[in-house]
């Protein structure tokens, strides 16, 4: 685990000033990761040890249960703040997690929630002191593992298959949409400025 960061989201340098075939391959890999994690037969618990913006939030939402560290961390789908948009499967995953209305506000505002706010709206299931996040996740795992596997897995599939099938049937179209969007000059400029702002914040 990296201290203070669960995931900084997608590595923007993977789709900034890249060739179309490179961004295609990057997005295909992300689809694979999501489909495998969201559709996993295993119990998956995210121990969110720190910041979890955008793609990081997606990965956490793809799990069965989320424990987040208390502290000055944030989680959410902040894509609009970067001048980009969350694709339909990010949106559907968030709707399945926190409901339609909260998702609508959250996405349009590019909202990043504190751990307490995230717990209040159900984006995370539990908050714990940073040094106990893994311990809390392990305790929760014990509960989930007591449920008969076949019943838990079939229930999970009933809840998740609609989104999995929808994305699986639209993968090519979704890759095309991503690459044609991020290759636009205006989006490349926004991404460049955003990367610059991250570097400036650091210095
Ligand atoms: C149809 C169109 C569909 C488009 C869909 C696109 C969906 C996109 C999803 C995404 O996930 S986009 C990425 C969103 N992520 C963010 O906005 C997070 C940005 N990062 C931060 O806010 C902070 O880094 C942090 C996570 C809060 C951690 O802060 P900390 O102060 O600890 O680290 P920094 O010093 O800021 O960063 C270190 C280093 O890393 C670079 N960096 C940070 N995040 C990213 C990133 N996501 N991609 C690429 N690079 C990143 C940052 O610039 C620093 O670089 P160096 O100066 O060390 O070179």
The Cα 176–Cα 178 span in angstroms is 6
Question: What is the ipTM, given to two decimal places?
Answer: 0.96
The answer to whether residue 10 is catalytic is yes
Q: Give strand pairing partners of 47.
A: 67
Predicted confidence (pLDDT) at residue 140 exceeds the cutoff of 80: yes
* Burial category of 183 from C-beta neighbours within 10 Å (exposed 0-12, middle 13-18, buried 19 and up): middle
Span 174-203, average pLDDT = 93
**DSSP code, position 113:** B
9, 55, 56, 76: the active-site residue: 55
Closest CA to 73 of 131, 36, 113, 24: 113
Which residue's CA is the closest to the ligand 1 atom numbered 21?
8
Mapping DSSP to helix (H, G, I), strand (E, B) and coil, where does residue 72 land?
coil
Q: Out of 7, 8, 51, give the residue to mutate to test ligand 1, the one with the largest number of ligand atoms within 8 Å of its CB.
A: 8
> Which ligand 1 atom minimizes the distance to the CA of 9?
11
| Span 114-127, pLDDT tens digits | 999 999 999 999 99
Predicted confidence (pLDDT) at residue 202 exceeds the cutoff of 80: no
**DSSP code, position 194:** H
> Which ligand 1 atom minimizes the distance to the CA of 90?
7
Q: Give the model's confidence band at 19: pLDDT under 50 very low, under 70 low, under 90 confident, else very high.
A: very high
| Span 79-136, pLDDT tens digits | 999 889 999 999 999 999 999 999 999 999 999 999 999 999 999 999 999 999 999 9
Task: Give the rounded percent of residues in the chain with a pLDDT score beyond 90.
Answer: 96
Residue-by-residue DSSP string for 133-184:
HHHHHHHHHHHHHTS-HHHHHHHHHHHHHHHHHHHHHTHHHHHHHHHHHHTS
Span 5-29, average pLDDT = 98
Q: Give strand pairing partners of 66.
A: 46
Non-local CB neighbours of 185 within 8 Å, separated by 6+ positions = none
The Cα 54–Cα 175 span in angstroms is 18
Query: What's the chain's average pLDDT?
Result: 97
pTM (2 decimals)?
0.96
The answer to whether residue 82 is catalytic is no
The Cα 170–Cα 19 span in angstroms is 22
CB of residue 178 inside a 6 A radius of ligand 1: yes
What pLDDT sits at residue 201? 81
Helix ranges restricted to H, the chain? 20-38, 55-61, 88-98, 100-109, 115-121, 133-145, 149-169, 171-182, 185-202
Predicted confidence (pLDDT) at residue 2 exceeds the cutoff of 90: no
Predicted confidence (pLDDT) at residue 154 exceeds the cutoff of 90: yes
Contact 126, 119 (CB under 8 A): yes
Predicted confidence (pLDDT) at residue 203 exceeds the cutoff of 80: no
Q: Give the model's confidence band at 3: pLDDT under 50 very low, under 70 low, under 90 confident, else very high.
A: confident
The overall longest dimension of the chain from CA atoms, in Å, is: 52
What pLDDT sits at residue 77? 98
């Amino acid at each position: 685990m990296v201290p203070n960061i669960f995931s900084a989201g997608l590595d923007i340098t993977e789709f900034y000033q890249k060739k179309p075939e490179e961004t295609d391959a990057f997005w295909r890999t992300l689809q694979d990761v999501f489909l495998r994690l969201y559709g996993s037969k295993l119990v998956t618990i995210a121990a969110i040890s720190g910041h979890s913006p955008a793609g990081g939030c997606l990965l956490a939402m793809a799990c069965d249960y989320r424990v987040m560290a208390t502290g000055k961390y944030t989680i959410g789908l902040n894509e609009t703040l970067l001048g980009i948009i969350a694709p339909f499967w990010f949106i559907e995953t968030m709707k399945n997690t926190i409901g339609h209305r909260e998702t609508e506000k959250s996405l349009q505002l590019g909202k990043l929630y504190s751990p307490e706010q995230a717990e209040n709206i159900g984006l995370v299931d539990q908050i714990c002191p940073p040094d106990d996040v893994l311990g809390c996740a392990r305790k929760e795992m014990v509960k989930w593992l007591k449920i008969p596997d076949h019943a838990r897995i079939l229930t999970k599939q009933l809840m998740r298959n609609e989104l999995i099938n929808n994305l699986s049937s639209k993968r090519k179209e979704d890759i095309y949409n991503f690459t044609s969007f991020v290759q636009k000059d205006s989006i490349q400029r926004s991404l460049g400025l955003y990367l610059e702002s991250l570097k400036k914040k650091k210095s």
